[in-house]
Each structure stands twice: as C-alpha cells, then as structure tokens.
C-alpha cells in the first residue's frame, strides 16, 4: 500500500482492512458471550464511529437496538478541549444494558462526558467499546471494557476517522507521516 495525501498532510498505511475486520469480529464475539440472552442498547458516537458501529452490529446476535449521538472535541489534529453535544439521545437508557461504541479514545474527555451523562440516567449496566485507544494521553477516568487496538500517540485517519472531515471513507487506517 502507498501513502495517501489529505489536504496538506501525508499518511502512511497503518492498520489493514483485514486486520480491522478481524478485530471487529473478535469484539462482537466477546459482547455476544458477555450479554448472552440479554438485550443491549448500543450508542454509537457520530461521526467517527459510524463505520465501526455498522460493522460491529453485523456480528452481534443479541436482541439489540442502536442509537447515535454526536459530540465533537477535535479540530484539525489537536484537541480543542471543548465538548459539544450536537445531537442528543432520544432513547431512554434507564434500566438497560448500554454499550457506547466509540471510534477512538485519546485524552478520554469525550467518553468521560458521555459516560457520566448516561450514568446519571441509571442504566442497568454501562460499558465502553472503542476500536482504538491512545493510552499515552488517556486519563483512565472511565473503564474501557472493549478495546480493539492500543496505538502510539500519532494522528490516524480512515475507517470513520477524519482529518478535517476527510478520509472517513477509507477502508483501512493510515497514520500521519512525520
């Protein structure tokens, strides 16, 4: 695979689409086993988790629903530290097994806000499922039950992840070339 150019930046191949599909299937199998015979409400985090959530749900064999919320904490390649909830949750989480599906956890600020908002609504259980974790900056404020890949602290795009809105459509993940 070759490098790709998105706007002013060059990215090199990092995680292949085959590896991603294996990871997604492995996580789904764990969830299927952990919640056997129970109903689950998945909450996908827009925009980044739309592909991961779609692929994950195809492997889930439980009785389930999915709902999406939209929050943003990033502009360009550095965190602004601002969290804005743009699309709220219409589905009640009270008394339900809830799994939040996130594309990537970096500082943890986004997932922390989400976790505490949902926890206040008294779900029966609440877990986080993230495809990617950057552990170097993560503050460990919230337990992450399902993690696909732990990676170093470099900026990545593809498979739902963007650089300035671009690159979400790429089937594999690319890493910023320094």
- Longest pairwise C-alpha distance within the chain: 49
Q: Is 106 a catalytic residue?
A: yes
Binding residues with ligand IMP: total (CB under 6 A): 18
What number of other Cβ atoms are within 10 A of residue 137's Cβ? 13
Q: Which stretch binds ligand IMP (CB under 6 A): 21-29, 54-62, 118-126, 157-165?
A: 157-165
CB of 73 or CB of 150, closer to ligand IMP:
73
Query: Footprint of ligand IMP on residues 126-155 (CB under 6 A)?
Result: 155
Q: Give residue 115's region: left, alpha or beta (phi > 0; psi -120 to 50).
A: alpha
Site string for ligand IMP, 71-110 (x = CB under 6 A): --xx----x-----------------------xxxxxxxx
Distance, in Å, from the CA atom of 14 to the CA atom of 115, rounded to the nearest integer, reads: 29
Q: How do 9-15 and 4-6 pair as beta strands?
A: antiparallel
Q: Where in the sequence numbering do the catalytic residues fall?
A: 106
Residues that bind ligand IMP (CB under 6 A): 48, 73-74, 79, 103-111, 155-157, 161-162
């Amino acid at each position: 695979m070759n490098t790709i150019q998105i706007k002013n930046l060059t990215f090199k191949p990092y995680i292949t689409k085959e590896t991603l599909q294996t990871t997604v299937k492995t996580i789904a199998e764990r969830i299927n086993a952990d919640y056997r015979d129970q109903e689950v409400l998945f909450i996908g985090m827009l925009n980044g988790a739309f592909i991961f959530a779609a692929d994950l749900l195809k492997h889930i064999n439980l009785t389930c629903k999915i709902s999406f919320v939209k929050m943003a904490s990033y502009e360009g390649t550095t965190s602004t530290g601002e969290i804005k909830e743009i699309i709220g949750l219409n589905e009640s989480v009270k008394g339900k097994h809830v799994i939040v599906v996130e594309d990537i956890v970096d500082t943890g600020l986004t997932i922390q806000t989400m976790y505490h908002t949902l926890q206040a609504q008294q779900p029966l259980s609440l877990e986080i499922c993230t495809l990617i974790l950057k552990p170097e900056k993560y503050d460990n404020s919230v337990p992450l039950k399902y993690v696909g890949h732990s990676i170093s602290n470099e900026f990545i795009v593809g498979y739902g992840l963007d650089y300035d809105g671009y690159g979400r459509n790429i089937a594999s993940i690319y890493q910023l070339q320094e």
